[in-house]
Amino acid sequence: MRGYQRSDLRHLYLHRVALDKLRKRPALRRPCLDLVERWLAGPEQAPSRPWLLQWREMLAGWPIEKMAETVLDPEGGQTLRQCSPLGPVLQPRERWEALAEFARRLESGIDQLE
């Protein structure tokens, strides 16, 4: 597996974990939405504006299942994952645990990443 493929799969896995937590704790949408608003206010984010606007719409009112379907789409969600505001959802320890689990699953076989 090439480096970029592994990176894409890792990003996909982290988003799956973050969205699962967001499903359980909907109040975590607020810090993510606040982050999107801060990014939208800065001119350096202009190239990402269409995707940030989509993130704002998703976080403001979409059901988590619809958001997950869009963000976790292996190809269509890739750009959304690259400018993702879901960082506040996972605590550093949770992120490291998810990355360790990803590495274990990757070693066991790619079909177990779901």
What is the residue extent of each domain of the chain?
A: 3-112
pLDDT over 70 (residue 1): no
The single-letter DSSP state of residue 110 is G
Is the four-CA dihedral 53, 32, 71, 66 of positive or negative sign?
Answer: negative
Angle at 91 between CA 89 and CA 97, to 5 degrees: 110
At 20 the pLDDT is 97
Model confidence at 46, pLDDT cuts 50, 70, 90, reads: confident
Beta-carbon contacts of 87 under 8 Å, excluding residues fewer than 6 positions away, are 32, 35
What predicted TM-score, i.e. pTM, was given to this entire model?
A: 0.87
At 55 the pLDDT is 97
Please compute, for residue 47, the number of CA atoms within 13 A of its CA located in the half-sphere on the CB side.
Answer: 4
Q: How many helices (H) and strands (E) does the chain have?
A: 6, 0
Of 7-11, 38-42, 56-60, 69-73, give the lowest mean pLDDT range: 7-11
d(CA 84, CA 108): 28
Tokens of 39: 């990014």
pLDDT over 90 (residue 72): yes
